[in-house]
Amino acid sequence: MATRELYWNIEGHWLLYPLFLIALGFFVYGFYQRYQLWKLGKPENRWQEVWQGIKDVLVYGFGHKRILQDAYPGIMHFIVFWGFILLAFATTIVALQADFGLKLFHGGLYVFIKVSANLFGLLAMVGILMVAWRRYVTRPDRLDTKAEDGVILALIFVILLTGFLIEGVRMAIVPDPWGVYGFVGYGLAVAFRGMGEGALLGFHRFLWWFHLLLVMVFIGYFPYSKLMHILLAPLNQFFRKRGPIGIPEPIDFEDESLETYGKSSLREFSWKALFNTDACLRCGRCQDNCPAYLSGKHLNPKQVIQDMRGYMEETGTALQEHRRTLAVASTSEATGEETAVAAEGGVEFVPVSDEELGLRALIGEVIPEEDLWACTTCRSCEAQCPVFVEHVDKTIDMRRNLVLMESRFPAEAQLAFKNMENNGNPWGIGWSTRAEFLTGLGVKTYAENPEADILYWPGCSGAFDARSQKVSGAIVKLLQKAGVNFAILGNEEKCCGDSARKLGNEYLFYSLATENIEVMQGYGVKKIVTQCPHCFNILKNEYPQLGGDFEVVHHTTYLNELIQASRIQVTPGQGRSITFHDSCYLGRYNQIYDEPRQLLKAVGLAIKEMKHTHEKSFCCGAGGGRMWLEEKEGERINQMRTDEALATGTELVGTACPFCLTMVSDGIAAREAGERVKALDVAEILEQALH
Ligand code: SF4
Ligand code: SF4
């Protein structure tokens, strides 16, 4: 039966057990140290969806779903990963036979292991060379290289190489009838056959021990290095947030025990937020897809996560130091409180402020404030991250602290907040004029038509912004044409609160949202059609946090339903093309990509996609409340996006968001392309094709 002798030519192989125990000791201690750091965060339950978690590990971890979206780094990582898995499997089978007497390394399994370990081991070596080529020769901007990267690559490569050499030398001495299945070792054996047997035996023993020592170094070094991602990446995928993305945790303003709002200290974040920083691979995909970074802002989502990781270590060290000081004090003349603290053990229990620990300020000194305000909350970073690091909630939490505790935010945000407070819209136009434009189009308010089936929600832009009013007009005409029984809230509608919330003003969001919910519940509203993806997202996904449960659809979805039901008839044109800009809050936040495109196709337009499209769409620059802030640093994001649209050569740019429409229209004007290219909302295009 196919098999081979284990520990052939190796005397004293038992030494591997104490060596393994030493390596394991380093591993456990290193892992425990990281665990202590994650425990600095607050408790958070991430065990709600175990089966979905396992599925995510299979799809995103073992299947590399996100990593493979980038061909070269995807394939490179895939083959190294699977090489590692197969070789770990083969080693386990050998260990089970050698140490537990299980007869596994025989027959079909022996042949399978031999073939697959050779194939995947070879592929893994190719993968390591690809990694090295990319990291040290092509050096894409998104990679930062540290000494440990080189150490790890060399370590894995030499482990793989010595594994093959051991096999080759063994087969050069002892002919193996099954050797051909280990084709790499078999080939090497041919090369070694000219050497004398004594030399080969010595060489084999040297290689075996050298290989073993390297494997032990690998195990011991694991938790102190980037190797840790092999374990933490799947765990982070398992514990990832699910459901609608991008829902900030609500603040309970009625809870009087809350002393602070938002987060300004590392220890105010949850353990998962800290765990994220260790799971980060430094792959730079987030950086490579961040509109703020790509437009030359200082913000770099990868750097934010890495800086928080470094700060977590600083905090852990400072707390340990403090605890040691307390322990010494408690044995001499400590106060009662200090003694109790020291006796409790565990750095997380020490009630001491960051200032007393001599730590840098998280906001300002670790994460620059301008980075927090530069984020458009587009979540492109999160959508690309292979291990599901959650960047944006951290930003919003820190913004909340600046706004609610420090009253420190950009001056333009102050104006937008004041306008929302006083007039229920960020422009500050008199609240009582909100319905003027729409009622002029024959639209009734809910007060006038309480039996309406649909609440049409134009949002602040649709009601007050001259350009977006045209879109509102188109939507109204389409709804009227389809015979939909709809109404608006009129002057009773307030800003949905999205900009306020994403800018960190949770209290303002809370006031606006609760008023809106009260009014809608008062009218018994069931279904809402929104014009703006920001209103859509917050009404659909975030109002339920405050008890506002309504069926909410975006206008592109609803109009598509009307077309499908033949309640709207359009005459398709011929020969015109369009490019469509995916709004972040419609696309990445709610996975609505097809409906707007179906509408464009219904009117006969050929769609030419931009370089960044669908899930990889490039933000217009207005999300996260940035619509109301100046863009002083770097290139203007809207102009970069407009350049992508212009590069398609189409005469139309389709949008489905009033903010995007404004930003792209401004971009077209800035590029002096208004003569040949127009930005239109999908509803306007549909309305023009009505018959
Ligand atoms: S949300 Fe968008 S702008 Fe903010 S860090 Fe992520 S990619 Fe950059
Ligand atoms: S946060 Fe995610 S995408 Fe960004 S570097 Fe880390 S692992 Fe890569």
Residue listed under structure tokens 């041919």: 190
- The CB of 73 under 6 Å from ligand 2? The reply is no
Q: Which of 572, 579, 573, 575 is nearest to 679 (CA)?
A: 579
* CA–CA dist 267, 248 (Å, integer): 18
How many CA atoms does the CB half-sphere of 258 hold within 13 Å? 14
* CA–CA dist 323, 357 (Å, integer): 11
* CA–CA dist 470, 463 (Å, integer): 10
Q: Which of 286, 382, 390, 394 to mutate to test the pocket of ligand 2 (most atoms within 8 A of CB)?
A: 286
From-to residues of CATH 1.10.1060 in the chain: 266-405
Stretch 583-601: mean pLDDT, rounded? 97
Residue listed under structure tokens 């709610």: 590
Q: Does domain 266-405 have CATH number 1.10.3470?
A: no
pLDDT at 332: 61
Instruction: Write the CA distances from 320 to 149, 328, 379, 501, integer angstroms.
Output: 28, 12, 35, 37
Neighbours of 636 (CB within 10 A): 16
CATH class of 577-688: alpha beta
Closest listed ligand to the CA of 388: 2
Going by pLDDT thresholds of 50, 70 and 90, the confidence category of residue 350 is: low
* CA–CA dist 341, 347 (Å, integer): 9
Atom of ligand 1 nearest to the CA of 292: 3
Going by pLDDT thresholds of 50, 70 and 90, the confidence category of residue 351 is: confident
Q: Is the pLDDT of residue 678 over 70?
A: yes
Atom of ligand 1 nearest to the CA of 377: 1
Question: pLDDT digits over 359-411, tens only?
Answer: 999 999 999 999 999 999 999 999 999 999 999 999 999 999 999 999 999 99
Distance from the Cα of residue 185 to its chain's centroid: 42
User: For all residues of the chain together, what is the average pLDDT?
Assistant: 94
Stretch 302-308: mean pLDDT, rounded? 98
Atom of ligand 2 nearest to the CA of 282: 5
Buried b (16+ CB within 10 A) or exposed e, 198-232: eebeebbbebbbebbebbbbbbbbbbbbbbbbeeb
How many residues in the chain?
691
- The DSSP symbol for 58 reads I
* CA–CA dist 7, 208 (Å, integer): 9
Contact present, 402 and 409 (Cβ < 8 Å): yes
pLDDT at 334: 44
* CA–CA dist 551, 653 (Å, integer): 29
Nearest CA to ligand 2 atom 6: 280
Atom of ligand 1 nearest to the CA of 304: 5
Instruction: Write the CA distances from 155 to 5, 158, 217, 467, integer angstroms.
Output: 27, 5, 9, 61
CA Rg, the chain, in Å?
31
* CA–CA dist 370, 662 (Å, integer): 24
pLDDT at 440: 87
DSSP string, 206-271: HHHHHHHHHHHHHHHHGGGSGGGHHHHHHHHHHT---SSS--PPP--TT-TT----S--SGGGSBH
Contacts of 63 by beta carbon, 8 Å cutoff, 6+ apart: none
Stretch 504-533: mean pLDDT, rounded? 98
* CA–CA dist 384, 288 (Å, integer): 9
SS3 track for 183-195: HHHHHHHHHHCCC
Of the listed ranges 252-261, 441-450, 468-477, the least confidently predicted one is: 252-261
Q: Which of 377, 382, 582 to mutate to test the pocket of ligand 1 (most atoms within 8 A of CB)?
A: 377
Instruction: Report helix, strand or coil for 439.
Output: helix
**How far apart are the CA of 388 and the centre of ligand 1, in A?**
14
Contact present, 461 and 534 (Cβ < 8 Å): no
**How far apart are the CA of 233 and the centre of ligand 1, in A?**
21
Atom of ligand 2 nearest to the CA of 281: 7
- The CB of 282 under 6 Å from ligand 2? The reply is yes
Percent of the chain having pLDDT more than 90? 88
More confident residue, 236 or 177: 236
- The CB of 286 under 6 Å from ligand 2? The reply is yes
Stretch 496-520: mean pLDDT, rounded? 98
Nearest CA to ligand 2 atom 3: 385
Going by pLDDT thresholds of 50, 70 and 90, the confidence category of residue 65 is: very high
Stretch 558-585: mean pLDDT, rounded? 95
Kind of pairing between the strands at 678-681 and 652-655: parallel
Question: pLDDT digits over 276-301, tens only?
Answer: 999 999 999 999 999 999 999 999 99
Buried b (16+ CB within 10 A) or exposed e, 43-66: eeebeebeeebeebbeebbeebeb
Contact present, 531 and 459 (Cβ < 8 Å): yes
**How far apart are the CA of 83 and the centre of ligand 2, in A?**
23
Contacts of 385 by beta carbon, 8 Å cutoff, 6+ apart: 66, 285, 286, 391
pLDDT at 688: 95
**How far apart are the CA of 1 and the centre of ligand 1, in A?**
59
**How far apart are the CA of 130 and the centre of ligand 2, in A?**
20
**By CB neighbour count within 10 A (0-12 exposed, 13-18 middle, 19+ buried), where does 76 fall?**
buried
Contact present, 498 and 537 (Cβ < 8 Å): yes
From-to residues of CATH 3.40.50.1860 in the chain: 420-564
- The CB of 280 under 6 Å from ligand 2? The reply is yes
**How far apart are the CA of 401 and the centre of ligand 1, in A?**
19
- The CB of 301 under 6 Å from ligand 1? The reply is yes
* CA–CA dist 99, 209 (Å, integer): 18
More confident residue, 339 or 87: 87
SS3 track for 354-419: CCCCCCCCHHHHHECHHHHHHCCCCCHHHHHCCCCCCCHHHHHHHHHHHHHHCCCCCHHHHHHHHH
Closest listed ligand to the CA of 281: 2
Q: Is the pLDDT of residue 487 over 70?
A: yes
- The CB of 379 under 6 Å from ligand 1? The reply is yes
Going by pLDDT thresholds of 50, 70 and 90, the confidence category of residue 575 is: confident
Paired residues of 577 in beta bridges: 606
- The CB of 295 under 6 Å from ligand 1? The reply is no
Contact present, 667 and 641 (Cβ < 8 Å): yes
* CA–CA dist 435, 431 (Å, integer): 9
Two structure tokens written together for 548 = 């506002």
pLDDT at 340: 45
Question: pLDDT digits over 87-138, tens only?
Answer: 999 999 988 998 888 888 888 899 999 999 999 999 999 999 999 999 999 9
Q: Which of 287, 297, 379 to mutate to test the pocket of ligand 1 (most atoms within 8 A of CB)?
A: 379
- The CB of 220 under 6 Å from ligand 1? The reply is no
**How far apart are the CA of 636 and the centre of ligand 2, in A?**
24
Contacts of 325 by beta carbon, 8 Å cutoff, 6+ apart: none
pLDDT at 103: 84
Percent of the chain having pLDDT more than 70? 97
* CA–CA dist 420, 501 (Å, integer): 12
Going by pLDDT thresholds of 50, 70 and 90, the confidence category of residue 348 is: very low
Across the chain, how many H-helices and E-strands are there?
28, 8
Contacts of 186 by beta carbon, 8 Å cutoff, 6+ apart: 168, 171, 179, 180
Q: Is the pLDDT of residue 178 over 50?
A: yes
| Structural element, H or E, at residue 86 | helix 71-100
- The CB of 389 under 6 Å from ligand 2? The reply is yes
* CA–CA dist 422, 429 (Å, integer): 9
Architecture of domain 420-564: 3-Layer(aba) Sandwich (3.40)
**How far apart are the CA of 198 and the centre of ligand 1, in A?**
63
- Backbone torsion region of residue 579, taken as left when φ is above 0, otherwise alpha when ψ lies between -120 and 50, otherwise beta: beta
pLDDT at 326: 82
pLDDT at 450: 95
Of the listed ranges 114-128, 193-207, 327-341, 382-396, the least confidently predicted one is: 327-341
Fold of the domain built from segment(s) 13-24+50-238: Fumarate Reductase Cytochrome B subunit (1.20.950)
Atom of ligand 1 nearest to the CA of 286: 7
**How far apart are the CA of 371 and the centre of ligand 1, in A?**
10
Two structure tokens written together for 36 = 């202590």
Going by pLDDT thresholds of 50, 70 and 90, the confidence category of residue 331 is: low
**How far apart are the CA of 380 and the centre of ligand 2, in A?**
11
Distance from the Cα of residue 66 to its chain's centroid: 11
Q: Is the pLDDT of residue 546 over 80?
A: yes
From-to residues of CATH 1.20.950 in the chain: 13-24+50-238
Neighbours of 418 (CB within 10 A): 13
**How far apart are the CA of 91 and the centre of ligand 1, in A?**
42
Q: Is the pLDDT of residue 619 over 70?
A: yes
Instruction: Report helix, strand or coil for 577.
Output: strand
Contact present, 494 and 512 (Cβ < 8 Å): yes
Q: Is the pLDDT of residue 258 over 80?
A: yes
Question: pLDDT digits over 125-146, tens only?
Answer: 999 999 999 999 999 999 999 9
DSSP string, 602-667: HTTPEE---SS-GGGPPP-S-TTTGGGS---SSS-HHHHHHHHHHHTT-SEEEES-HHHHHHHHHH
* CA–CA dist 51, 49 (Å, integer): 6
